[in-house]
């Protein structure tokens, strides 16, 4: 029964239902992704999609409010008691407020985050972060605060929804006063909703298809030779930084060999053994082991180069120089690998490589050695001793060893939120297994 109740315009109806569906999906998706372990491969992408859909809701809400202010909605039925009309209006305006504040709190959260992960609408358009947090000392704490606010606001939408749906059903099935059907979609509203669904669906599809993280995933397996991650960092999906190209030799490809130093070659005239070694990168690994949220994880740098001069009989002339491409760090988790490249961690844009050099190599056991050297990550340099075992069989050598580091010595993950004990442990172990052949 309609009782002559006027209808909302098709545009108002289309926006109402499109936003309602999007908000419900957004809340379910937000809770789902928040509870995923960081190791989940999809987590990073889900966050990007959540931000994109959330900003779309904000955009649609702005259009909806503009439309609402320009077009008077149908009056509530005259028979409705005044207090019910007042509550209905309060709930409607509270909805508008929450539809603005919830996405804005989300945007404030990512703007305050010390990780500075850019916000790109479906990888297409960069949405500027709110500028208020630049000078804030403890951005991690502000981020945590907005995360709570964001969550409470989203749950407040759910609470209002229960009241709103209850009242709508009462109008439709008990009062039968036409209020419910005044918002029911008809043909033109369905077309409007379909148009919104097509635009957002295509944008999401574009993001999923063009996601540069795909390269990163195979890269972290150590199988990919695609070195484009510098050009499109994982933290900035689909945003290509012009001019940034990677030229380091891929793993497994032959590296420049070192010419043996003339004096040491002279020192062993009998067999004229070279003391320079060429690393077989395909058969070598450089791993890092850490702990996050109480669970251990392991990753590897798939791109590093090592220049090794080593002769057990002439340790005084031995030297090791390793360059590790920080962009090549992969641990099988898109989320962790994306954040690892960020300014707070390896800051790969400013510091493409970490370096270890040593020219003091000591024998510590039958096949055991220690290389005292320095490790430089970003602008931090510290003494590090690399302990390793070495087996030389003719012209082939295999070495295995490692060192224990404290990540904060190198300015890795310094904000309060990363330093909380349950996040990433400070102790990190670096281990390597190297196969090398004597250079000719």
In angstroms, give the least distance from the CB of 102 to ligand HEM.
4
Three-state DSSP state, 294: coil
406-410 long-range contacts, Cβ below 8 Å, gap at least 24?
Answer: 407/290, 409/380, 409/382, 410/375, 410/377, 410/378, 410/380, 410/382
Residue with tokens 């994306």: 338
Span of 50-58, 210-218, 349-357, 377-385 interacting with ligand HEM by CB under 6 A: 50-58
391 phi, psi to nearest 5 deg: -120, 125
Q: Which residue's CB is nearer to ligand HEM, number 57 or number 439? A: 57
- The packing angle between helices 139-169 and 82-112, to 10°, is 150
Residue 47 as a binder of ligand HEM (CB under 6 A): the answer is yes
Q: Which is nearer to ligand HEM, 146 or 288 (CB)?
A: 146
Q: How many CA atoms lie within 13 A of 185 on its CB side?
A: 16
220 is a site residue for ligand HEM (CB under 6 A):
no
* Site track 53-92 with ligand HEM (rule: CB under 6 A), x = hit: -xx-xx----------------------------------
Pairing of strands 125-127, 119-121: antiparallel
**Span near ligand HEM by CB under 6 A; candidates 46-54, 166-174, 193-201, 331-339:** 46-54
SS3 301: strand
Task: Map residues 258-277 to x or -, x wherever contact with ligand HEM holds by CB under 6 A.
Answer: --------------------
Determine which helix (DSSP H) or strand (DSSP E) holds 98, and give its type and residue range.
helix 82-112
**51 near ligand HEM, judged by CB under 6 A:** yes
Residue from 429, 424, 315, 435 nearest 371 by CA = 315
**Site residue total, ligand HEM (CB under 6 A):** 25
- Point out which residues pair with 289 in neighbouring strands: 298, 429
Is residue 119 a contact residue for ligand HEM (CB under 6 A)? yes
Is residue 107 at the binding interface for ligand HEM, with CB under 6 A as the rule?
Answer: yes
- Part of the chain binding ligand HEM (CB under 6 A), chosen from 102-110, 172-180, 247-255, 385-393: 102-110
- In this complex, which beta carbon is closest to ligand HEM, that of residue 15 or of residue 157? 157
Span from 73-81, 143-151, 182-190, 423-431 in contact with ligand HEM (CB under 6 A): 143-151
Task: Say whether residue 203 binds ligand HEM (CB under 6 A).
Answer: no
Q: Exposed, middle or buried: residue 106 (CB in 10 Å: 0-12, 13-18, 19+)?
A: buried
- 200 lies in the binding site for ligand HEM (CB under 6 A): no
CB of 36 to ligand HEM, least distance (A): 9
Residue among 154 and 320 whose Cβ is closer to ligand HEM: 154
Is residue 120 close enough to count as binding ligand HEM by CB under 6 A? no
* Rounded-to-integer distance, Cα 25 and Cα 46, Å: 12
Q: Tell me: does residue 154 bind ligand HEM (CB under 6 A).
A: yes
Handedness of CA 147, 152, 158, 160 (dihedral sign): negative
The nearer residue to ligand HEM, 48 or 331, going by C-beta atoms, is 48
Q: Which is nearer to ligand HEM, 46 or 322 (CB)?
A: 46
SS3 188: helix
Q: Which of 110, 179, 306, 412 binds ligand HEM (CB under 6 A)?
A: 110
- Considering only residues 1-40, where is the footprint of ligand HEM by CB under 6 A? 23, 26-27, 30-31, 34
355 closest CA partner among 382, 317, 330, 331: 382
For ligand HEM, the binding residue among 14, 15, 16, 102 (CB under 6 A) is 102
Residue 361 contacts residue 310 (beta carbons within 8 Å): yes
Task: Give the residue with the Cβ less far from ligand HEM, 50 or 438.
Answer: 50
Residue-wise over 327-364: b if at least 16 C-beta within 10 A, else e?
Answer: bbbbbebbbbbbbbbbebbbbbbebbbbebbbeebeee
CB of 93 to ligand HEM, least distance (A): 16
Contact residues: ligand HEM, CB under 6 A:
23, 26-27, 30-31, 34, 47, 50-51, 54-55, 57-58, 102-103, 106-107, 109-110, 119, 147, 150-151, 154, 157
């Amino acid at each position: 029964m309609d009782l002559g109740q006027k209808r909302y315009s098709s545009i108002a109806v289309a926006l109402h239902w499109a936003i309602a569906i999007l908000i419900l999906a957004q809340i379910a998706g937000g809770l789902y992704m928040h509870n995923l372990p960081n190791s989940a491969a999809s987590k990073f992408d889900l966050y990007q999609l959540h931000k994109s859909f959330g900003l779309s809701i904000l955009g649609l809400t702005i259009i909806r409010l503009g439309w609402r202010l320009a077009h008077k909605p149908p009056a509530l039925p005259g028979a409705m008691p005044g207090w019910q009309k007042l509550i209905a209006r309060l709930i409607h305006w509270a909805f508008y407020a929450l539809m603005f504040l919830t996405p804005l709190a989300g945007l404030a959260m990512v703007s305050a985050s010390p990780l500075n992960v850019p916000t790109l609408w479906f990888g297409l358009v960069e949405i500027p972060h709110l500028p208020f947090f630049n000078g804030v000392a403890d951005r991690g704490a502000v981020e945590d605060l907005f995360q709570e606010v964001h969550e409470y606001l989203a749950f407040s939408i759910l609470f209002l929804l229960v009241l709103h749906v209850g009242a709508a059903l009462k109008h439709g099935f008990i009062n039968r006063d036409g209020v419910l059907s005044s918002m029911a979609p008809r043909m033109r509203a369905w077309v409007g909703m379909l148009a919104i669904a097509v635009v957002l669906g295509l944008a999401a599809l574009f993001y999923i298809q063009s996601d540069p993280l795909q390269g990163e995933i195979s890269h972290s397996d150590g199988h990919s030779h695609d070195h484009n991650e510098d050009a499109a960092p994982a933290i900035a999906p689909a945003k290509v930084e012009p001019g940034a190209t990677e030229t380091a030799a891929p793993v497994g490809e032959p590296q420049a060999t070192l010419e043996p130093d003339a004096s040491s070659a002279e020192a062993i005239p009998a067999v004229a053994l070279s003391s320079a070694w060429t690393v077989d990168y395909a058969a070598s690994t450089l791993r890092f082991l850490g702990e996050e949220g109480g669970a251990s994880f392991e990753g590897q740098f798939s791109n590093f180069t090592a220049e090794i001069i080593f002769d057990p009989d002439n340790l005084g002339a031995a030297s090791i120089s390793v360059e590790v491409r920080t962009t090549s760090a992969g641990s099988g988790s898109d989320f962790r690998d994306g954040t690892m490249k960020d300014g707070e961690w390896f800051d790969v844009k400013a510091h493409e490589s970490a370096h270890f050099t040593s020219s003091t190599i000591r024998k510590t056991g039958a096949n055991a050695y220690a290389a005292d050297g320095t490790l430089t990550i970003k602008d931090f340099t510290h003494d590090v001793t690399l302990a390793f075992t070495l087996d030389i069989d003719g012209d082939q050598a295999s070495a295995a060893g490692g060192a224990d580091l404290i990540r904060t010595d190198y300015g890795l993950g310094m904000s309060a939120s990363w330093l909380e004990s349950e996040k990433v442990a400070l102790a990190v172990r670096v281990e390597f297994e190297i196969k090398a052949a004597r250079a000719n």
